Amino acid sequence: MADDITRDLVVYLQSISYSGSTSSILLSNPIDIFIDSTDPNLWLPDSVCNEFEKAFGLTMDNDSGLYLVNDTQNTELLNSEAEVTFRLSDVGTGGDAVVITLPYEAFALTAKPPLVDNSSYYFPLKRAANSTQYTLGRVFLQEAYLSTDYERGVFNVSACSWEEDSQEDIVEIMSKDAGSSECSGSGCSSGGSSSGSSSSLSRGEVAGIAVGAVVGFFLLLGILLFYIRRHRQKSRNKAIDPRPNVSVLTGPVHNGGPPESSLHDEHDSLPQSAFWSPDTLNDSSGLTASRNNGSSGGSGCHENSSGENELDGHNTQIKPVYHELPGSKVPNVY
């Protein structure tokens, strides 16, 4: 391949010859020419175009810029069995070469509006301004084909085979990075020549499978270790008594009754207030004072901690007594 990526498929066109009603050499001096499938025309030097005009009786149409061919001329050229032969090589002179022969029928293309006012045959030939325009266009590839290896920077130009009942022979172009044991180049065919051997995985596929297996193994191992550790932690928690938590503070008990033992002691003779406290057991005078204070208060209200007056059932106001029961520690519950 050429270094210029815009014109990379360049070959030496050693010669062009014509055969039909007469024979002639259309190109005798080799030229570098680019093979381009995006352009339908042959772009050749002026001298070569002049020789094509003589051989095929072509005339340039000034309006369309095409070599138009009328129906009568087209029929005559078909009957003459005219052919054009291109000799291509990778060197200017001598060396190995491939010969591509195109019949006139391959050049008989049809031009339609807006290229022309009325549909007509035309010969796909263009005059190149300089060597950078020399091109074998798509018309040339009607009888030739390309196989290109961009990785290695090489390509092949071959003549089409029109043999009937010919067998398909597809050749795979392997990557440069493929192993030496794998098939490569023109000696590797994907046809039935190696049907007896089984296909093998590439190195990349094998490496991918190996990495996936290792990752999967460690993932399963991590999950297993997590569950084992969790099970052991649960067993350890069951075997060890939990440590006690901080003391639970008990709140005040309002207007609670006396302990059962105190109901049968020496103070049974004292009248029991609806609001009991240890002070009433130890100091009966206090209770009386409380009652007297309540009765002497008349309609006056004694305000307790909640802001309300409480009576003992005999219209006597008393002061609520709060007693806090002893608390106890409770164990933690997990």
What pLDDT, on the 0 to 100 scale, is given for residue 177? 83
Let me know if 56 is exposed, middle or buried by CB neighbors in 10 A (0-12, 13-18, 19+). Answer: buried
CB 136 within 8 A of CB 35: yes
What pLDDT, on the 0 to 100 scale, is given for residue 231? 84
Q: What's the rounded Cα separation, in Å, for the pair 82 and 77? A: 6
The single-letter DSSP state of residue 297 is T
CA distances from residue 86 to 15, 91, 321 in whole angstroms, order as listed: 6, 14, 126
Q: Of the candidates 130, 126, 154, which has an alpha carbon nearest to the alpha carbon of residue 140?
A: 126
Q: What is the DSSP string of 135-190?
A: EE-TTGGGSEEEEEETTTTEEEEEE----TTPPP--B----TTS-TTS--GGG-B-
What pLDDT, on the 0 to 100 scale, is given for residue 312? 53
Q: What is the DSSP string of 80-98?
A: TT-EEEEEEESSSSSS-EE
- pLDDT tens string, the chain, 334 residues long: the values are 888 888 889 999 999 999 988 899 999 899 999 999 999 999 999 999 999 999 999 999 988 999 999 999 999 999 988 999 999 998 888 888 999 999 999 999 999 998 888 899 999 999 999 999 999 999 999 999 888 888 888 899 988 888 888 888 888 888 888 765 455 444 454 444 444 444 556 777 888 898 889 899 999 999 999 889 888 888 777 766 555 555 554 445 444 455 555 444 444 444 544 444 455 444 444 444 444 444 444 444 444 444 455 555 566 666 666 666 676 766 666 5
CB 157 within 8 A of CB 140: no
Q: What's the rounded Cα separation, in Å, for the pair 136 and 36? A: 6
- Report the residue count for the chain: 334
CB 185 within 8 A of CB 151: no
Domains, the chain, in order of start with CATH, read 5-162 (2.40.70.10), 253-323 (no CATH)
Residue 12's DSSP bridge partners are 32, 89
Q: Of the candidates 281, 305, 280, which has an alpha carbon nearest to the alpha carbon of residue 290?
A: 280
Which segments of the chain are extended strands (E)? 10-19, 23-27, 31-35, 42-44, 59-61, 66-69, 83-89, 97-103, 109-111, 120-123, 125-127, 135-136, 144-149, 154-159, 253-254, 310-311, 317-318, 322-323
Q: What's the rounded Cα separation, in Å, for the pair 254 and 275? A: 9
Longest Cα pair distance anywhere in the chain, in angstroms?
Answer: 157
CB 301 within 8 A of CB 308: no
What pLDDT, on the 0 to 100 scale, is given for residue 140? 94
Q: What's the rounded Cα separation, in Å, for the pair 33 and 128? A: 11
Query: Which residue type, as a one-letter code, is found at position 31?
Result: I
CB 146 within 8 A of CB 173: no
